[in-house]
Homo-oligomer: A and B are copies of this chain.
């Protein structure tokens, strides 16, 4: 293949990560703070300029570039490349991102939700490499998810499938931002774990500190993580029974708590899910970390998803 280069973009509320890839390998990377751009127009022009600069730096000719992949938070019509809105970036409502960026860059552009792309990347070249039926979660402020079914990214009837964070964990409970009740996110979203930690350790605690304390053997800190992992494990037991996946990949900030979470999740699934499903499913820590977005965006281009 002549066109061996791909540009991958991970458009986040805090940072915009840009990558130049030679096939599946990132050969150049750049990070721009999202708040440096005062408007959407400025952001997209800046993005386009910086993408050109990446190519120039490596002396990559435009004709050798297959296209640009963009992952972004929030509901996206991946078929049309339209961003419905971003939960944490203002000024985006029904933006035809694909169309705008194709005009600006001259390349074919593909756009999808960042959790979908993380799932795609982990299923193709990450922790669940080569597995056919994969569910991936990103644990952060929100709890996002993606689903790969029989090797293909599954998007659902109106392209918003994968909202693992909004599976109810109980019939009654706290109200969730999504309008639902007792959603998983309401138990294990960053702010709710932090809230619990604050009631135990006081205002000075952070999730990083909580992880550190737990690793050092602090029983109270371990208990906070274990409670979160219990919630997650119970929800995943339902997914395991229902979808019978080959693997579940857990990523995002909270996943840095690593084995503190994974061991408990595995134990809960083993105890509560049905035996054939529970024996088969691998619970894996995400492998691609902060690069997952760029890599997934590049895969989107490579596989020509529409």
Contacts and interface: CB of A to CB of B under 8 A. Distances in A.
Interface of A: 75, 132-133, 145, 147, 149-150, 152, 154-164, 166-171, 178-181, 230-231, 234-235, 237-239, 241-246, 271-277, 280-281
Contacts of A154: 149-150
Contacts of A234: 168, 171
16 contacts: A132-B157, A133-B157, A147-B242, A149-B150, A157-B277, A158-B244, A158-B277, A158-B280, A160-B274, A163-B274, A163-B277, A164-B242, A168-B272, A170-B171, A180-B273, A181-B272
A241 B166 contact: yes
Given A166-B241, A179-B274, 13 more contacts: A145-B242, A149-B150, A156-B244, A157-B244, A158-B244, A161-B242, A163-B241, A166-B242, A168-B237, A179-B271, A179-B272, A179-B275, A180-B237
A270 to B, nearest CB: 10
A281 B274 CA distance: 28
Contacts of A243: 147, 156, 161
A234 B182 CA distance: 10
Contact of A274 (B178, B275, B276, B277): B178
A72 B157 CA distance: 29
Nearest to A145: B242
A157 B237 CA distance: 15
Given A133-B157, A273-B180, A280-B158, A239 B237 contact: no
A276 to B, nearest CB: 5
Given A272-B179, A274-B160, A167 B246 contact: no
A235 B242 CA distance: 11
Top 8 nearest A-B pairs (CB, nearest first) are: A156-B244, A167-B238, A161-B244, A157-B246, A166-B241, A163-B241, A180-B272, A157-B280
Contact of A157 (B156, B245, B275): B245
Contacts of A171: 169-170, 230-231, 234
A75 B237 contact: no
A186 B160 CA distance: 30
A163 B242 contact: yes
A154 to B, nearest CB: 6
B238 A168 contact: yes
B179 A156 contact: no
Contacts of A160: 244, 274, 276-277
Contacts of A281: 157
A242 B281 CA distance: 18
Q: Considering residues A152, A237, A243, which has the most beta carbons from chain B within 10 angstroms of its beta carbon?
A: A243
